[in-house]
Chain A
Amino acid sequence: DAGITQSPRHKVTETGTPVTLRCHQTENHRYMYWYRQDPGHGLRLIHYSYGVKDTDKGEVSDGYSVSRSKTEDFLLTLESATSSQTSVYFCAIRENLAGGQSEQFFGPGTRLTVL
């Protein structure tokens, strides 16, 4: 599992409430990613981070913010949750290989339901 944990694993919340999901890694990887998974869409990138305090937007970033104050933690925040943000959220890390190549490994996911 590449030393990735996500918390909480399941959450039910109400429309309009703030929600923060946490991704924690133990192997000092520089790159971390947040994806959401929805039927018929595969996984889509929300935000990613390339270092402490360095983040950038993905293809579905509206309504989400992220923070990375230390290498091991990457937080995803929904400032005011909406029903369209009901999804399964996956965190990933990039592991660097020899020759400048890399691979991404995913955490176990967080199932979020917004009522």
Chain B
Amino acid sequence: QQQVKQSPQSLIVQKGGISIINCAYENTAFDYFPWYQQFPGKGPALLIAIRPDVSEKKEGRFTISFNKSAKQFSLHIMDSQPGDSATYFCAASKETSGSRLTFGEGTQLTVNP
């Protein structure tokens, strides 16, 4: 049972454009929602994370939007750059339950120059 569904599977964006990746979750007990960025041959790196007490969090060009009632959250990459080309994973966990992360399937982002 996939508790976190991520879309799209792949995304191609032009340099300077906005990349949007969406995730939906089922378990209402989840209280921590991170996004990870992964380059080929590397481990996932924490990019940005949000907790459900806020609806949006912004760090530089990266923004998470969170909709608790819809059980959805999304990553927006503004002014996308070729260096942003990577695989992005959303995840969710319940911090009082060992912080076991449940991941989405991943999105392969390509930013064309």
**Alpha-carbon distance A92/B38, docked complex (angstroms):** 14
**Alpha-carbon distance A1/B46, docked complex (angstroms):** 10
CB <8 Å contact, B104 and A42:
yes
Closest to B103 in A: A42
If A42-B104, A42-B105, A45-B101 touch, whether A104 touches B34 (CB-CB below 8 Å) is: yes
A102 within 8 A of B: yes
Which residues A43-58 have CB closer than 8 A to chain B? 43-45, 48, 50, 56, 58
CB <8 Å contact, B99 and A108:
no
CB <8 Å contact, A104 and B101:
yes
Chain B residues proximal to chain A, CB less than 8 Å: 4, 6, 32, 34, 36, 41-46, 49, 51, 89, 91, 95, 98-106
- Summed over the interface, the residue pairs from A and B with CB atoms below 8 Å come to a total of 61
CB <8 Å contact, B89 and A108:
no
**Alpha-carbon distance A42/B91, docked complex (angstroms):** 9
Rounded to whole Å, the gap between the CB of A67 and the closest CB of chain B is 18
Size class of the A contact interface (CB-based, 8 Å): 20 to 34
A94 within 8 A of B: yes
CB <8 Å contact, A105 and B46:
yes
Rounded to whole Å, the gap between the CB of B38 and the closest CB of chain A is 9
